[in-house]
Amino acid sequence: MTSEVRVSFTLNGEARSEEMEPNKTLCDFLHDEAGTTSVKKGCDTGECGACTVLLDDMPVTSCLVLAPQINGRDVVTAEGLGTKSAPHPVQQAFVAKDAVQCGYCIPGMIVTLSWIYEHAPGASDAEIKRLMSGNLCRCTGYIQQIDALKSALKRT
Amino acid sequence: MKSFQYLAPIPVFDYVVPGNLQELFQALDVHGRKLSIVAGGTDLMIALKERIITPEVVVDLGRLRKELGGISSGGGVLRIGCLATFSQIESSPLVARYADALRQAAANVGTLQIRSIATLGGNLATASPAADSAPPLIALGANVTLASGFGERKIPVQSLFTGPKRNGLRPGEIVSTIEIPATEDVWSSWTRAAVRNENVLSTVSVAVASTIHDGTFGPSRVALGAVAPTPILAEKASVAMTWADATAQTAYSVAVLAAEDSKPISDIRASASYRRRLVSVLTRRLILQLISEVAVP
């Protein structure tokens, strides 16, 4: 039997307190229990980036975080970045630039690119590629997504 | 080997989150039960999922960021807490000033998502022969402070590594602080070879720290990663470089000695002979870079 632990955190701006099994990953908790289904499990080994979320405003692969490690911390998923009626500039640019194909990598990709948008808006193309190297996309070849980020930043 | 195991949840464990150092050292006294410590968790989670380890107790350092984190300097020493993340190290002006080789290595660890949470203390305690933080620290002459409920001891970084994924920590002990001599005129740099540029284990990594005065190298250290059971100080190369003329000729001869100092194996990433060749090429490149940046401003 797992002894559950009480964990307090904020998820997409909302304060929450939950009983968690400590042997569960943050990825599984967010997708299966918290209702934030944008968080996708891809490789489950921290390579692909499909499960990327912001933890205290830094992008992390949530499959490499034990769920109770978020105690006292701030978690933001793609759901918390924007809504259908008021999307994040990066989300808007993904639509405008057709930067989506199958969609599986997209929530994680948008979380990472939104972080670059906020924290490294002047990044060179090479630096953008370095910063997004933890988000693998099997469909697009990345060009549309870099274009989308730059158009959100009004750099094109 | 691993994919089907991933379908099963990680086996259960007791989860402890100490609120201060006293509670931490009490928590580490587990009376023979199998213990793991989680700092960032990026290495630990893989080991848990692949059943490389099956701890009965997991102690999370997450509430000790004040006590065990942070980057500061004073008294001629740059101090980095074990919970400092690679992102924090990558963006620290103090690290750039006193330990640029470490900044360069930190910026190349894993991916943005890994650097955001992975810690310097965790990288050292995991004790991979390919730990990218180790060659810069060894080249810079860094020490680690190991702390337990019984006190502290300080050892050179290379002494923490006792074998592949084996560290010299005693039961109840943690890597608490990394101390780097903070000297203005020390130049240091790091480079590596790998099968791609990002999100990859180093095939070979090299760090050099030295000074140049009046056309002569001062005390110098060459350190190597992924070419021996542990990261190593290249002793013959370091001795030969110290007090040698700051010339391309020295760069070539030291590079040859560094290759002799290495003890690589062949594995999926490269053959032993290719690794030895890489050690020589990368060492030479770093020393030539040092000469061009310092001797010829």
What are the structural domain ranges in chain B?
10-63, 65-181, 187-295
CA dist., res. B102 & res. B136, Å (int): 5
Structure tokens at B145: 């402070």
| Residues of A whose CB is below 8 A from B38 | 66, 69
Q: Are residues A40 and A104 in the same domain?
A: no
B118-146 per-residue burial string, b: 16 or more CB within 10 A, e: under 16: bbbbbbbbbbbbbbbbbbbbbbbbbbbbb
Same fold, B10-63 and B187-295: no
Spatial distance between the Cα atoms of B236 and B227, rounded to a whole number of angstroms: 15
Interface contact A62, partner B, CB < 8 A = no
| Residue of B113, B105, B88, B98 lying closest to B226 (CA atoms) | B105
Is the CB of B16 inside 8 Å of chain A's CB atoms? no
Task: Say if residues B167 and B125 touch (Cβ distance below 8 Å).
Answer: yes
Angle between helices B248-261 and B272-290 (to 10 degrees): 150
B195 vs A: CB within 8 A: no
Instruction: Compute CA A108 distance to the chain's CA centroid, rounded to the nearest angstrom.
Output: 4
CATH architecture designation of domain B65-181 = 2-Layer Sandwich (3.30)
> Cα angle at B89 between B87 and B95, to 5 degrees?
155
Question: Side-chain half-sphere of A45: how many Cα atoms within 13 Å?
Answer: 12
The Cα–Cα gap between B57 and A46 comes to 23
Looking at domain B10-63, does it have CATH number 3.30.43.10? yes
CB B219 within 8 A of CB B240: no
* CA-based end-to-end distance of chain A: 56
Q: Do B217 and B244 contact (CB within 8 A), yes or no? A: yes
Q: Are residues A69 and A12 in the same domain?
A: yes
Which residues form the domain of A138?
Answer: 81-152
- CB B199 to CB A2 under 8 A? no
What are B178's strand-pairing partners?
A: B80, B144
Residues of chain A contacting B7 with CB distance shorter than 8 Å = none
Q: Which chain A residue has the Cα nearest residue B5?
A: A44
How many residue pairs from chains A and B have C-beta atoms closer than 8 A?
A: 97
pLDDT number for residue B296: 59
Q: What are phi and psi of A88, to 5 degrees?
A: -65, 150
Under an 8 A CB cutoff, do A46 and B15 touch? no
Question: For chain B, how many helices (H) and strands (E)?
Answer: 13, 16
Domain covering B187-295, topology: Enolase-like; domain 1 (3.30.390)
Q: What is the pLDDT along chain B (297 residues), one digit of tens a residue?
A: 455 555 678 999 999 999 999 999 999 998 889 999 999 999 999 999 999 999 999 999 999 999 999 999 999 999 999 999 999 999 999 999 999 999 999 999 999 999 999 999 999 999 999 999 999 999 999 999 999 999 999 999 999 999 999 999 999 999 999 999 999 899 999 999 999 999 999 999 999 999 999 999 999 999 999 999 999 999 999 999 999 999 999 999 999 999 999 999 999 999 999 999 999 999 999 999 999 999 755
Q: Touching check for A65 and chain B: CB below 8 Å?
A: yes
List of chain A residues whose C-beta atoms are within 8 Å of the C-beta of residue B6? 44
Is A112 in the B-facing interface, judged by CB distances under 8 Å?
A: yes
Interface of B with A in 98-157 (CB under 8 A): 110-114, 116-117
pTM of the predicted model as reported, rounded to 2 decimal places:
0.96
